[in-house]
Amino acid sequence: MKRLNVKQVMLYVGGILMCQFSWMGCFPLIPAFFTAVCLEDAARAALGTAMFLGIVLFVPLAAAVKYLMAMAVILITIKLFEWAEGRCSVLCAAASASIATFMMSLSGTLLNVRDTAGLIVYLVEAVFVFSAIMIGTRFVDFFMQLSLLPPKEEEVYYQEAKLVNYADSFSGLSKIFSRMSKTQKGLSQEQMGKIQKELTGTLCANCGQCALCWEREESPMYSYLAYMLQSLQRTGEADHEVVVQMQEYCPYTDAVIQESTRIFEKARLNLAWYNRLLENREMIAQQLDAMAYIMEDCANDLREVTQENRHLLAELKYRARERGIIVQKPHLYENKDKRWQLTCDAYAKNGSCISMRELAKAASIGLERGMRPHRDERAMVSPQGAVVTFEEDTCFHETHAVARIVKDGGAVSGDNYSFLEMDNGQMAMMLSDGMGSGSSACKESELVLELLEKFLEAGFSEETALKMMNSAMVIRAEDDLYSTVDICSLDLYTGCCDMYKIGAATTFIIHKDFVERVESSSLPVGVTHRMDLPHTKKQLESGDFLVMMSDGVLEYLQEDDPSIAMCAILKNLVSKHPGQMAQEVLEEVLGRTGGIAADDMTVLVCGVWSK
């Protein structure tokens, strides 16, 4: 038998025992206990049978009739409320139970069934029933909440340890690849010696003057050949003076230079491929590091705190039931930032559908902190029931918008943007400007943002996602097409904004009293496997606005310092709606260019307000 069924059986046995307690000929615990357990919706037919058995065994006949009639009235009243409104609150049930008990007592007096109890006793009994129900429902909820099974700590610890071991393995592989990935800028002394041996072995071995050039100690050919190879390494051409001096001793100088150039070209090509191999190893090391990071993050992500917060979950079930929603199997988790996540089975009573907002209100009151449904959660709680997820609510909310113009004569914009809401309360605003304009630039910037979205949704940090995306773009390396990346990651819990600008234009923050600039100079993504990640952290307040734009907006302001001119434009904006603000910025720029869009122009605006 399941633990929950055992709890129900214990309640039914308790109902039988409640029939033994009397006060001045009254049995007030019978209607009080029956009502409190009925509201729990735990097999009412079985409860009624158990209470009927207890009344038959322990209650006198006259009183038994009274309380059986009161129980029938209470059950009918609860059912009527649930049919009409989809729920029956504890207050309504307690009031109906106390009134039913009092009216049954009066009816018994009028029929002369009980002539020993007075009106005061009946009133006191009714007040006691009302109070006992209001208090007893909390105890019943808490009692049923004790049925939650604690997680198997050994199993949870084993799984976390296994993920940590995997992460250590990937981290170790990354270090091995990193040690192997030291690129060479030029040929080493050992490689120069091999080139010299290959050259002399190819040409000089069959020459009749070989002994004169290489076996005599006073021969200058050693120094001439060494200088010539050094000049070939530095400039790609043999030094003219060395060639002239060498021709005095060697009649095959032209053949030597030609063969030396060929061997050097081959050595340089081999060196380029070798360095490319090492770069790929380094990118593999970065990806292994990213895998280790995500595994460690998963191992330390959530910790179940259900058992230590049973009283809060009991309050949650009580508040949800008051709204006509039955909550079962609640589990509470805490992430590394000490924020809570709730999962539970929820279904609406009596065939009705109830808004998920009602359950969110119950969760917020019960858990004593603001809770909201998961962003992909359904809008209604249905009678069929489903597993629902709630997260701790954020302190800020945001509104964003975009305005864009395609370059005159172009069909497709090379700028692409994305607004990505993540499960951890982060909102990432991203803008990528592909090199040039048209479809090729659009495809390049679109690919960059698609990769970033996938990595961020998988749980990687912004820095790790940028490194992995850059690795993919370096390996791809098609037609030397590159893109800028501008990321603003806003934490809606704290209002803190992390900015990463890779070859991107200036970002602006509109505060109440001034406009702040955030600038950076770095190469676009895909240029080199070792990418600089300039990181800026800013604290936003309620009413601040983030403004991101592509370089096509700033370059055509026709000012000596376009960023300062843009600060003045943003400061004079009248509207506080992100969409209108973005449109006003483009109109101001086009007004200065005579309505000509010489490049793709994109403006993103995000406003932040406290809840």
Of 23-32, 333-342, 357-366, 516-525, least confident by mean pLDDT is: 516-525
Query: In this predicted model, what pLDDT tens digit does every residue of 229-256 receive, in sequence order?
Result: 777 767 667 777 777 767 666 776 777 7
CA distance 117 to 123: 11
| 42 has a pLDDT exceeding 80 | no
For residue 83, give Cα distances in angstroms to 79, 87, 93.
6, 8, 14
Largest CA distance in the chain: 145
Residues 6+ apart with CB under 8 A from 16: 50, 51, 53, 54, 57
Q: What is the predicted pLDDT for the residue at 153?
A: 47
Residue 515, number of CB atoms within 10 A of its CB: 20
The residue whose two tokens read 């008990």 is 101
| 194 has a pLDDT exceeding 50 | yes
Give me 287's structure tokens: 């990806």
* Confidence (pTM): 0.67
528-545: average pLDDT: 84
Q: What is the predicted pLDDT for the residue at 439?
A: 83
CB–CB of 294/125 below 8 Å? no
Q: What is the predicted pLDDT for the residue at 534?
A: 81
Residues 6+ apart with CB under 8 A from 18: 29, 30, 33, 51, 54
495-514: average pLDDT: 92
Q: What is the predicted pLDDT for the residue at 5?
A: 67
Nearest in space to 253 (alpha carbons), one of 230, 231, 224 = 224
Q: Which residues of 432-453 are buried (b: 16+ CB within 10 A; e: fewer)?
A: bbbbebbebbbbbbbbbbebbb
Q: Which of 125-129, 156-160, 261-265, 300-304 has the highest mean pLDDT?
A: 125-129
Query: In this predicted model, what pLDDT tens digit does every residue of 50-92 receive, in sequence order?
Result: 888 888 888 888 788 888 888 888 888 888 887 877 778 888 8
324-342: average pLDDT: 88
Determine the 3-state secondary structure of 577 from DSSP: coil
CB–CB of 274/282 below 8 Å? no
Residues 6+ apart with CB under 8 A from 120: none
Nearest in space to 510 (alpha carbons), one of 418, 375, 608 = 608
Q: What is the predicted pLDDT for the residue at 248?
A: 66
Nearest in space to 229 (alpha carbons), one of 244, 242, 213 = 242
Q: What is the predicted pLDDT for the residue at 1?
A: 37
**Gyration radius (Cα) of the chain, Å:** 40
CA distance 542 to 611: 9
| 401 has a pLDDT exceeding 80 | yes
Residue 54, number of CB atoms within 10 A of its CB: 24
Q: What is the predicted pLDDT for the residue at 461?
A: 81
CA distance 274 to 290: 25
| Burial bucket for residue 594 (CB in 10 Å: 0-12, 13-18, 19+) | exposed
Q: What is the predicted pLDDT for the residue at 462?
A: 85
Q: What is the predicted pLDDT for the residue at 146?
A: 61
CA distance 472 to 176: 21
DSSP string covering 350-417: GG--EEHHHHHHHHHHHHTS-EEE-TT--SEE-TT-EEEEEEEPPSEEEEEEEEEEPPTT-SS-SEEE
Q: What is the predicted pLDDT for the residue at 392?
A: 92
DSSP tag of 204: G
Query: In this predicted model, what pLDDT tens digit does every residue of 141-162 receive, in sequence order?
Result: 777 766 544 544 444 444 556 5
| 101 has a pLDDT exceeding 90 | no
Q: What is the predicted pLDDT for the residue at 149?
A: 47
428-451: average pLDDT: 86
Query: In this predicted model, what pLDDT tens digit does every residue of 572-599 receive, in sequence order?
Result: 998 899 999 999 999 999 888 888 888 8
Average pLDDT of every residue of the chain: 80
CB–CB of 442/412 below 8 Å? yes
CA distance 2 to 500: 53
CB–CB of 405/586 below 8 Å? yes
CA distance 268 to 402: 49
Q: What is the predicted pLDDT for the residue at 116?
A: 47
| 117 has a pLDDT exceeding 50 | no
**CB-side exposure of 594: number of CA atoms within 13 Å?**
1
The residue whose two tokens read 């489903």 is 386
Give me 420's structure tokens: 């990505």
CB–CB of 582/607 below 8 Å? no
User: What percentage of the chain exceeds 70 in pLDDT?
Assistant: 75
Distance spanning both ends of the chain, measured CA to CA: 47
Q: Which of 85-89, 182-186, 245-249, 373-377 has the highest mean pLDDT?
A: 373-377
| 602 has a pLDDT exceeding 80 | yes
At 365, the pLDDT band (50, 70, 90 cuts) reads very high
CA distance 307 to 333: 10
The residue whose two tokens read 């309640």 is 11
